[in-house]
């Protein structure tokens, strides 16, 4: 190493330099897996040599390792004799404890006055994905007790509670519940944008707007993924719905993007209608154009001619008529609008469509929904707690709740909440304060109890987040498996350095077509992905320890595959592969986890 000194004044300049060698007493080079799962056992090697090149005599060296989150299987200390200029590698064996986090391994080498120390880290990663659950509610009771589940790892578990006069508080928990990868579908990104606005996440809004802009093509259509051409109108329709909502509320919006999208919708509604599905999409497009003050009379007449020519009149009870009814209402044709809005049948439609219908009612027919307020509130709260809730249904529900309660007179809200395991009450809201709180509570809380002495109406939300300890094998509409192959033979015992082909087989078991399936593969510890081997997926992304596929599922088997290389000897958990329908989260599958062994050659 060379250090140079420089001195300057008004009259002169001077420099000097000095060379010296800096060295440790010992050079330590650890080697092990980058991540493991609880219960994994593995080898951890440390290569050791003396740092002093002038050493002439052998050294008696004591090498020790210690870690709080790892259990050493064969003792933590070794005594060796190290010859001058000799390099030795010692192998230790660890087992990961049943906790997650960053395991610090302290490596120390000592010989008399000579001493060197090194810290290295291994991530103990769970075999499940980070998940968020919300319990949403509405009450005017004086005492409300809410249960809190406890199936998360303590290291990662977070517990928040919110309460307010306004249902806007639900936005925070919903954005966390549906947060996933940044490469998610455009429809889900648009929903996240909506949640960010109402959760006051200003730093995130422009990021999502930029990503959405990147997915808008020159003709105004939105791709559902950045690298996947879109064949469906729904991402474009839904994204323009969200952007129009922001514009209507004088919040953030992209005027250029909206106009390009509206031009695309104008071309779409002028095309010949070929099916009832297309008619429903055209009706949605007509509604969005009307909301944006575009003339749509000709488009409505064109569509109605097609509909009245159909023998199948199912369109009268789905959203097709509801979109047209909302359009008529915006055009001040109130009697026609009222007649058509009442044709919708909630029993024959999906949760998402039902919530969209209620959103249309709250926006354009408020007198109808106000007459049904108690029933509608209960229906919408149940929807928010439904496992089948997707991001679109969540947005429609939140929008309807905000519309329904925006002009209400409110009694003063004096509210406190405490943990049933702690007698100390913690004030949450008081004195008619309608601000939204996201109050953190100790993760070990068992029950949270509200005290509401004024019996005021209020909304509440409990948000729990973290890694669950177990993910049970599931087959809800989908089935998924994964197998390891070496030399075309299924094999869970792998040689060190060997390449392993992973085959994932996915199919729908409900006899339906699912167009937006997300498959998440968590890589086992001890292996390394070979990225260029990702095969047979419409869209795939990968991080260091996982792969994300976007694909379709139907009754035929879809095969996804990639190759990884065995890097560290040990016994590792092959986590269950996960598949989920982004349009309906109740449609999901969890495969089975297995043990895989990497043997030393």
pLDDT at 406: 80
Mean pLDDT, to the nearest integer, of 506-527? Answer: 93
pLDDT at 85: 82
Mean pLDDT, to the nearest integer, of 19-42? Answer: 85
pLDDT at 6: 74
Q: What percent of the chain has pLDDT over 70?
A: 90
Secondary structure (3-state) at 335: helix
Length of the chain: 601
Residues 114 and 27: beta-carbon distance below 8 Å: no
pLDDT at 193: 93
Residues 574 and 484: beta-carbon distance below 8 Å: yes
Q: Cβ atoms within 10 A of the Cβ of 6, count?
A: 9
3-state secondary structure 173-235: HHHHHCCCCCCCCHHHHHHHHHHHHHCCCHHHHHHHHHHHHHCECCCCCECCECCECCCCCHH
pLDDT at 448: 78
Closest CA to 161 of 413, 439, 406, 365: 439
Mean per-residue pLDDT of the chain? 87
pLDDT at 317: 93
Residue 436 has pLDDT above 70, yes or no: no
Pairing of strands 499-508, 478-486: antiparallel
Q: For residues 551 and 506, give the distance between their C-alpha atoms in angstroms, rounded to a whole number.
A: 10
pLDDT at 20: 54
Residue 435 has pLDDT above 60, yes or no: no
Residue with tokens 């390099």: 87
Domains of the chain: 26-124 (2.60.40.10), 474-599 (2.60.40.690)
Residue with tokens 């909440």: 417
**Among 363-377, 382-396, 401-415, the least confident range:** 401-415
Q: Cβ atoms within 10 A of the Cβ of 387, count?
A: 10
Residue 145 has pLDDT above 80, yes or no: yes
Closest CA to 592 of 429, 460, 482, 443: 482
Secondary structure (3-state) at 34: coil
Q: Express each pLDDT in 479-491 by its tens digit.
A: 999 999 998 899 8
Phi (first) and psi of residue 175, to 5 degrees: -65, -35
pLDDT band per the 50, 70, 90 thresholds, residue 52: confident
Q: For residues 555 and 508, give the distance between their C-alpha atoms in angstroms, rounded to a whole number.
A: 5
Q: For residues 270 and 268, give the distance between their C-alpha atoms in angstroms, rounded to a whole number.
A: 5
Q: CA end-to-end span of the chain, whole Å?
A: 41
pTM of the entire structure?
A: 0.80
Q: Express each pLDDT in 275-333 by its tens digit.
A: 999 999 999 999 999 999 999 999 999 999 999 998 888 899 999 999 999 999 999 99
Q: Which two tokens stand for residue 149?
A: 């589940």
Q: Express each pLDDT in 328-387 by its tens digit.
A: 999 999 999 999 999 999 999 999 999 999 999 999 999 999 999 999 999 999 999 998
Mean pLDDT, to the nearest integer, of 432-449? Answer: 63
Distances (CA, A) of 564 to 408, 546, 548, 576: 59, 11, 15, 16
C-alpha 392: how far from chain center: 15
Mean pLDDT, to the nearest integer, of 178-190? Answer: 77
Residues 217 and 231: beta-carbon distance below 8 Å: no
pLDDT at 434: 47
Residues 386 and 351: beta-carbon distance below 8 Å: yes
Q: Express each pLDDT in 9-30 by its tens digit.
A: 666 677 777 765 556 888 899 9
pLDDT at 161: 83
**Among 251-265, 401-415, 419-433, 497-511, the least confident range:** 419-433
Q: For residue 312, with 0-12 CB atoms within 10 Å meaning exposed, 13-18 middle and 19 or more buried, which class applies?
A: exposed
Q: Which two tokens stand for residue 478?
A: 């989908």
Distances (CA, A) of 595 to 6, 467, 574: 62, 20, 6
Residues 310 and 278: beta-carbon distance below 8 Å: no
């Amino acid at each position: 190493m060379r250090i140079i000194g420089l001195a300057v004044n008004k009259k002169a300049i001077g420099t000097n330099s000095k060379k010296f060698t800096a060295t440790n007493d010992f050079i330590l080079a650890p080697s092990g897996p980058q991540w493991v799962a609880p219960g994994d056992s593995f080898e951890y090697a440390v290569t050791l040599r003396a740092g002093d090149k002038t050493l002439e005599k052998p050294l008696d060296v004591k090498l020790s390792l210690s870690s709080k989150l790892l259990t050493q299987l064969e003792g933590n200390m070794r005594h060796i004799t190290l010859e001058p200029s000799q390099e030795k590698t010692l192998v230790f064996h660890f087992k990961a404890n049943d906790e997650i986090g960053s395991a610090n391994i302290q490596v120390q080498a000592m010989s008399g006055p000579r001493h060197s120390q090194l810290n290295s880290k291994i991530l103990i990663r769970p075999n499940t994905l980070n998940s968020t659950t919300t319990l949403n509610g509405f009450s005017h009771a004086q005492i409300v007790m809410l249960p809190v589940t406890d199936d998360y790892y303590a290291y990662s578990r977070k517990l928040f509670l919110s309460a307010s006069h306004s249902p806007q508080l639900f936005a925070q928990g919903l954005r966390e519940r549906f947060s996933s990868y940044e490469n998610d579908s455009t429809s889900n990104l648009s929903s996240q944008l909506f949640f960010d606005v109402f959760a006051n996440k200003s730093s995130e809004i422009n990021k999502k707007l930029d990503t959405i802009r990147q997915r808008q093509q020159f003709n105004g259509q939105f791709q559902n993924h950045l690298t996947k051409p879109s064949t469906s109108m729904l991402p474009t329709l839904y994204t323009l719905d969200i952007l129009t909502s922001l514009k209507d509320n004088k919040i953030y919006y992209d005027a250029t993007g909206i106009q390009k999208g509206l031009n695309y919708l104008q071309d779409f509604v002028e095309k010949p209608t070929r099916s009832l599905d297309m008619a429903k999409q055209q009706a949605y497009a007509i509604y969005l154009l009307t909301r944006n003050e575009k003339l749509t009379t000709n488009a409505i007449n064109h569509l109605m001619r097609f509909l009245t020519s159909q023998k199948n009149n199912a369109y009268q009870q789905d959203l097709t008529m509801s979109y047209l009814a909302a359009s008529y209402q915006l055009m001040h044709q109130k009697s026609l609008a009222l007649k058509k809005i009442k044709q919708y049948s909630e029993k024959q439609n999906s949760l998402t469509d039902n919530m969209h219908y209620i959103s249309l009612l709250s926006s354009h027919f408020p007198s109808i929904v106000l007459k049904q307020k108690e029933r509608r509130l209960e229906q919408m709260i149940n929807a928010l707690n439904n496992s089948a809730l997707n991001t679109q249904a969540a947005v429609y529900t939140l929008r309807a709740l905000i519309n329904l309660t925006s002009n209400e007179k409110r009694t003063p809200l004096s509210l406190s909440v405490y943990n049933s395991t702690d007698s100390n009450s913690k004030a949450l809201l008081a004195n008619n304060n309608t601000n939204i709180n996201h109050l953190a509570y100790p993760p070990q809380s068992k029950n949270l109890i509200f005290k509401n002495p004024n019996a005021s109406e209020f909304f509440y939300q409990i948000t729990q987040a973290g890694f669950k300890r177990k993910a049970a094998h599931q087959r809800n509409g989908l089935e998924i498996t994964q197998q390891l192959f070496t030399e075309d033979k299924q094999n869970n015992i792998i040689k060190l350095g060997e390449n392993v082909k992973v085959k994932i087989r996915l199919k729908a078991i409900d006899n339906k077509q699912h167009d937006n399936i997300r498959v998440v593969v968590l890589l086992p510890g001890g292996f390394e992905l070979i990225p260029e081997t990702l095969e047979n997926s419409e869209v795939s992304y990968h991080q260091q320890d996982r792969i994300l596929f976007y694909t379709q599922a139907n009754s035929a088997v879809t095969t996804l595959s990639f190759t990884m290389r065995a890097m560290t000897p040990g016994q590792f958990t092959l986590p269950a592969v996960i598949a989920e329908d982004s349009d309906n989260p109740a449609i999901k599958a969890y495969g089975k986890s297995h043990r895989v062994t990497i043997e030393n050659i």
